[in-house]
Structure 1
Amino acid sequence: MKKKSATTNIAPRASVNSPSQLLVDIAFERIEQMIITRKLPPGSMISESQLAAEMDMGRTPVREALQRLRQIGFVEMLPRRGTLVAGVDIRQQLELLEVRRALEDLVVRVAALRATPEERENLKRLAQQMTIAAKRGDMEAWIQAGGEIHDAEVRATHNSMLITSMLPIHAQSRRFWYHHIVQNRAYIEGAQLHSKVLTAIADGDGDRAAAAAHGLMQFIERFTRSALDTF
């Protein structure tokens, strides 16, 4: 299976128009994926020069990518020590959900109203992609589909403020899920709930999308609390 990280970079892809910016985006996506999949585990120190060598690029795009990752809470910059991979705080996830719950309602309503025909078709495709991954029990494909779904949903709002607000939140959630879904294996239920949201957006039904998003958020909170209980 071909692995490809979902884009959580705040800047829309359409704004990338220079080779140097493209390198930063590539570095961001690859390092983000390393952190999500724990190839760069929490608490480890990151070597800019080593990453640059592994990705066959200069240190400047790596340094800029790490600055972006700092903004979404994936790394910490420590004076005189370097860059540290931040830990995953389960209790912080519950705080994040308080913010996400209200914003998700707005996202799905606006997306249902503004999504283009092409975006609606893509959302349906992504729903099928996550469902297939769930049936196979393929965690990495499931997480990948979730990242693409979140990215597609927020971009379908065509609201730069929502994009700026939601993509870092989704990135943190995806990192949490990658670690804990192995223990819970709630693939099928999660895929079904996501599918309800996506279908409603694709149909242009904002009220139904919001109701489905509410159900999804209840599931996510239940999942998060179960992880907290076993922590």
Structure 2
Amino acid sequence: MSFLLKDEAYDKIIQMINDKKLIYGEIYSLNVLTATMDMSKTPVRDAIQKLVDEKRIDILPSRGIRLHQITKEEVMQHYHFSCAIEGYCVATLAKTYQKDKNNPSVKKLKKLMEQMEKMLDEQKNFNEYFAVDQQFHLELLESLKDPYFSSLKHSSMGFYNHPEIQFTDNKLSRKEVCECHRKILSAICEGDSADAYEALLEHSYVMLKAF
């Protein structure tokens, strides 16, 4: 039961991040957080520890918690990981698409782009938009049909599962992110592995600048 409660607490905190109820730079006490979530301290504390391990939350002794303040070194690690892993995936997918125009991953990416383009209004539900954003990137990993690369979606590296990145002072617009995706997909569909790779690098740099 406690395991299930920990998972519930984890999901609630993630939801609070997505809903911008937890903001960069703000410090939150465990007591206030548990009261807001209407849960006991133990599962919330366990969930927080998991988020600390994922480098999404920092614990400030005797003060409380806050969203993780990513260091310059960590940002560069995320950037290099994204460029290396996703860059390889898009370049490979472009070559694959040249041989098979019915590639299922490209079909999924096209559908995801259509969905994202309907969610560019900043007033529309962020969670739905971000889910599509993430699915686009996860499909790039899945396109290799390699269990190891597929498992990287759970990695703490890259820019996966970090919606708070889009809430920083250098806020990214949905249109800006969508345009990056459009360039990547366009290059893949043209079978141009070099352009696909460059488009992915450009997208990673856009994310890098947000910090």
Q: What TM-score range do you get, normalising by the shorter chain?
A: 0.5 to 0.7
The C-alpha deviation readout for 1:111-163, integer Å capped at 9, x for no partner, is 899xxx987765543232112223x4557243332133334544664326523
Residues 58-207 of structure 1: pairs in structure 2 closer than 5 A: 58-87=40-69, 92-107=74-89, 123-134=109-120, 136-137=121-122, 140=126, 141-154=128-141, 157-159=146-148, 161-165=151-155, 169-172=159-162, 174-179=163-168, 180-182=170-172, 185-193=175-183, 195-196=185-186
- Name 1:15's counterpart in structure 2: none
Which of 27, 30, 34 is equivalent to 2:16? Answer: 34
Alpha-carbon offset, residue 70 of structure 1: 1.0
User: In proportion to residue count, which structure has more helix?
Assistant: 1
Unaligned residue ranges in structure 2 (runs of 5+): 97-102
TM-score between both structures, scaled by the size of structure 1 = 0.62
Distance in 2 between residues matched to 1:155 and 1:27, nearest whole Å: 29
TM-score between both structures, scaled by the size of structure 2 = 0.66
- Structure number with greater Rg is 2
SS of equivalent to 1:98: helix
Unaligned residue ranges in structure 1 (runs of 5+): 1-18
The C-alpha deviation readout for 1:143-188, integer Å capped at 9, x for no partner, is 332133334544664326523436664234x322333345695144
> Percent of pairs identical after alignment?
24
- Relative distance call for 1:92 and 1:51 in structure 2 (3 A) is same
Question: How many residues align structurally?
Answer: 198
Distance in 1 between residues matched to 2:30 and 2:62, nearest whole Å: 14
